[in-house]
Amino acid sequence: MRIGLVLSSLPAYSEVFLDNLINTLNELNHEVVLFVNKTEQSKYKSIRVYKIYKSGNFDRLTNLLKNLILAALLKPKRIVYVLQTGKGLRQRFRNLVKSSHLIWHDLDWIHYGFATLAIDREEVGKIMNCKTSLSIRGYDIALYTLNNSKVYLKVWNKIDKFHVISADLLEQAKFYGLERDTYRIIPPAIDISSLPMPSFKELDQKMLFRIVIVGRMNWKKGGEFMLEVLFHLKKKFDIKVDWIGHGEDFERLAFARYQLNLVQDVTFHGKLPQKEVFEIINRNNFLLHLSIQEGFSNAVLEAQALEVIPIVSDAEGLPENVLDRATGFVTKRLDLNHVISVFEEISQMDTSDLRQMARRARTRVVDHFSLNMHLQKFGEFFKR
Amino acid sequence: MTILSNSNTLSPPEFIDRLEKGLADKGHTVYRIGRGKCHKNISNVHNICLNSKVNTPFNTLFLLLKLALYPKRLSSLLSQTLKLKGTKARINFISKVGPVLLLLPDIIHIHWAPNLSDWLFFQKFNIRVVCSLRGKLVNVTPNTNSELLEIYRKSLYLADGVHSVSAVMIDDLKRHEIKLPNNTRVIYSGVKNEAFTNVRKYNDEKRILIVGRDHWIKGYNYALRVLPFLDGDITMRFIGFTPTKETQYIIKILGIEKKVVFIERMAQSEISKEMRSATILLVSSVSEGIANVAIEAMYNRLLVVSSRAGGMSELIAHKETGFLFENRDVEDMRNNLMEALRLTDGKKRQIIEAAFQKVKTQHDYNNMIEEMENLYYRLI
């Protein structure tokens, strides 16, 4: 099948789930074509990328003209059909601009990488006579609905199939009007073979809390709250923290680290190549991941596969990623006292119980979140 | 005295605007340089506009021709310009500094410290350069950015005078081994107090007021987290910003939608009205020089509960002129808010009167202008 994957831009460093989806579709012998709003240099050599624009208004105009000319030559009726969607002239032209890079292609299936990308493009599948699907992710449901709870009502009715990454997000999608049952929960997966073998973890009381934090430095990851937790933890235990990731909140976190007197205890490594990320995760005992908003998190899966025990918040999909007290610990979101009490509980636990928990977590990830499972589930999802 | 005030903008923050206008009212010739609307001079402060429409290559050339009448100034400008890399940076520098070379004021006052080094060469012309210590670029960034720290180490001690809005900022810089000139003075921000009345409106509803721009430095996430733990029917009114996704989402997950109100924009006179009908002003900032909004609240006889961030303890004596809680400590914030909310009328009146007296003496507008003048006179 020729599948058009619609994204806002090419997958960024931290969007491993999109890379996985592209690789999975390739593995399933589908021809993948990427459609992005804006792009710089593509890292995919064998995949064609079509864009609305590269950068700047001039480029936007020339690309739009190019796309419209191609559509007028190859599929002129589709321009007319797109112009019949939406209310008002302005909205109709906006819809045409948003779909201009798509409509002149022959595709069997269009998959929107985020639900937000299907807004104003709901009719495109029908116009192009192909099946449509979309992925419902954390941002789509948790954040995009904050200002408009009815934003997806039209989308739910026009799209054929829905991929959702966690049961929690499915519940939220239902809350925001999804009534159809053509959905499938397919959580993210990781490539176990790309990971090193789990190292032996020193879980002795003296240096128990060797902690790693992995994630983009933005508010969603709860970085400032995690530093607050570490500040209180330091009063009771010896801690050593490796923090991998960078982002727009770097100064905010660096300042909190300074004010909370954690500069010696928390090392910021910045953005690292994947191999080094795995090495650093592997040398720690716990992964701290107290997100305020989180769809599912690949980093938490990777930590579990490396037998690093996750301590996560109960944001969206995280309690499905980590089974509380079976494969890690789930804490209440933004509840400092609860997080500290969990750390106290861990400090009282037998080393053997912690090791068992870590092994159980790895087994579960291998059994349920491997790329093979992913491949199988997406294979079924993209069956006509 | 001719004073050039540089805050990079023709619409400076209110505290800089007040200072500029106050100095002009005292009979000094005050020029304001920066980007922004090149409107006509407001009051008696003169504008020097640095917009890109004005700074065309033609205008830059014209400026250089005018400067050719003063060869010493021109050669100094050119030698300074050649130190910079890139044509764009050089043209920008000439258009920024050129008009000031034609003017040759007595004092150049730089309000944002990172820009200081660009202006130090004016000392050759017997012009005194004063630098203010204020804002995030002095409170926060030196602690997170070693490059800026190095810039401060190399430039601040070369200024003729330094003005700091709080004593703690000077201590912080000294802790980072940054030398400051001998003429370094703390001059507290001044507020015109005739604008305030002692008439307060008492509501049954308990309102916590938060006023400020939308920035993580203001610690609004801490303020929101305290709300579910406050006893009684309490609302939090945020004035001055549109809630971000972060704020909106935290409100949603804490389930406090009905307890928070956001008012995007409000005129200063309206803010004073809000202050007169609120119960408490909360300053949740993780970093501050001295929050001007707290000064205004104290003038308005509104009880202030603040974090101990930066210079706030120079303004508030705990339980005497307000309440202070540990920075980034939600539990301590909650305890202090509850204590403030439970004050007896007598005790509350005592605190707000003491607070009023404090700002009246420490943050008087005329004093601020006079002290700044004294700093300038000491230098020339």
Contact criterion met (CB < 8 Å) for A251 and B250: no
- Entry field: residues in chain B: 380
Q: Show residues of chain B in contact with A147, CB under 8 Å.
A: 248
Q: Which of A50-54, B76-80, B131-135 has the lowest mean pLDDT?
A: A50-54
Mean pLDDT within A303-317: 96
Neighbours of B124 (CB within 10 A): 11
Contact A254, B217 (CB under 8 A): no
Q: Which ipTM was obtained for this model?
A: 0.90
pLDDT at A233: 96
What does each C-alpha distance from B69 to B27, B38, B56, B116, B308 come to in angstroms?
Answer: 29, 27, 21, 27, 54
CA distance A18 to A36: 13
The more confidently predicted of residues A67 and B261 is: B261
Q: Show residues of chain A in contact with B249, CB under 8 Å.
A: 142-143, 146, 292-293
Contact A304, A362 (CB under 8 A): yes
HEC secondary structure over chain A:
CEEEEEECCCCCCCCHHHHHHHHHHHHCCCEEEEEEEECCCCCCCCCEEEEEECCCHHHHHHHHHHHHHHHHHHCHHHHHHHCCCCCCHHHHHHHHHHHCCCCCCCCCEEEECCHHHHCCCCCHHHHCCCEEEEEECHHHHHHCCCCCCCCCHHHHHHCCEEEECCHHHHHHHHHCCCCCCCEEECCCCECHHHCCCCCCCCCCHHHCEEEEEECCCCHHHCHHHHHHHHHHHHHHCCEEEEEEECCCCHHHHHHHHHHCCCCCCEEEEECCCHHHHHHHHHCCCEEEECCCCCCCCHHHHHHHHCCCEEEEECCCCHHHHCCECCCEEEECCCCHHHHHHHHHHHHHCCHHHHHHHHHHHHHHHHHHCEHHHHHHHHHHHCCC
The full set of domain ranges for chain A reads 2-189+371-381, 192-368
Shortest distance between the Cα of A344 and any Cα of chain B, in A, equals 19
Q: Which of A288-292, B35-39, B65-69, B341-345 has the lowest mean pLDDT?
A: B35-39
Q: Which of A26-30, B133-137, B350-354 has the lowest mean pLDDT?
A: A26-30
Q: Show residues of chain B in contact with A255, CB under 8 Å.
A: 140, 143-144, 286-287
Q: Of the candidates A146, A259, A292, which has its C-beta nearest B327's C-beta?
A: A259
pLDDT single digits (tens) B137-156: 899 999 999 999 999 999 99
Architecture of the domain defined by A2-189+371-381: 3-Layer(aba) Sandwich (3.40)
pLDDT single digits (tens) B2-43: 999 998 888 888 888 889 999 999 999 999 988 877 766 666
Grade residue B297 by pLDDT with cuts at 50, 70 and 90. Answer: very high
pLDDT single digits (tens) B184-236: 999 999 988 665 566 665 566 789 999 998 899 999 999 999 999 998 889 99
Neighbours of B367 (CB within 10 A): 15
Nearest in space to A176 (alpha carbons), one of A137, A155, A145, A134: A145
Q: Is the pLDDT of residue A344 over 90?
A: yes
Which fold, B2-51+106-190+365-379? Rossmann fold (3.40.50)
Q: Is the pLDDT of residue A45 over 80?
A: no
The more confidently predicted of residues A42 and A292 is: A292
The phi and psi torsions of A154 (rounded to 5 degrees) equal -70, -40
Q: What is the CATH number of domain A192-368?
A: 3.40.50.2000
pLDDT at B284: 97
Residue range(s) occupied by CATH 3.40.50.2000 in chain B: 2-51+106-190+365-379, 193-362
pLDDT at A303: 96
pLDDT single digits (tens) A226-240: 999 999 999 999 999
pLDDT at A339: 97
Stated as kind and residue range, the H or E segment containing B7 is strand B2-9
% pLDDT > 90, chain B: 61
Contact A144, A116 (CB under 8 A): yes
Residues of B with CB under 8 A from a CB of A: 140-141, 143-145, 216, 221, 225, 245-246, 248-250, 252-254, 286-287, 327-328, 330-331
pLDDT single digits (tens) A155-192: 999 999 999 999 999 999 999 999 888 899 999 999 89
pLDDT at A124: 87
Grade residue A19 by pLDDT with cuts at 50, 70 and 90. Answer: confident
The rounded mean pLDDT for chain A is 89
Q: Is the pLDDT of residue A312 over 80?
A: yes
Q: Show residues of chain B in contact with A224, CB under 8 Å.
A: 216, 221
Which of A251, A335, A339 has the most B C-beta neighbours within 10 Å, making it the best mutation to test the interface with B? A251
Shortest distance between the Cα of B222 and any Cα of chain A, in A, equals 9
Contact criterion met (CB < 8 Å) for A142 and B249: yes
Q: Is the pLDDT of residue B317 over 90?
A: yes
Q: What is the CATH number of domain B193-362?
A: 3.40.50.2000
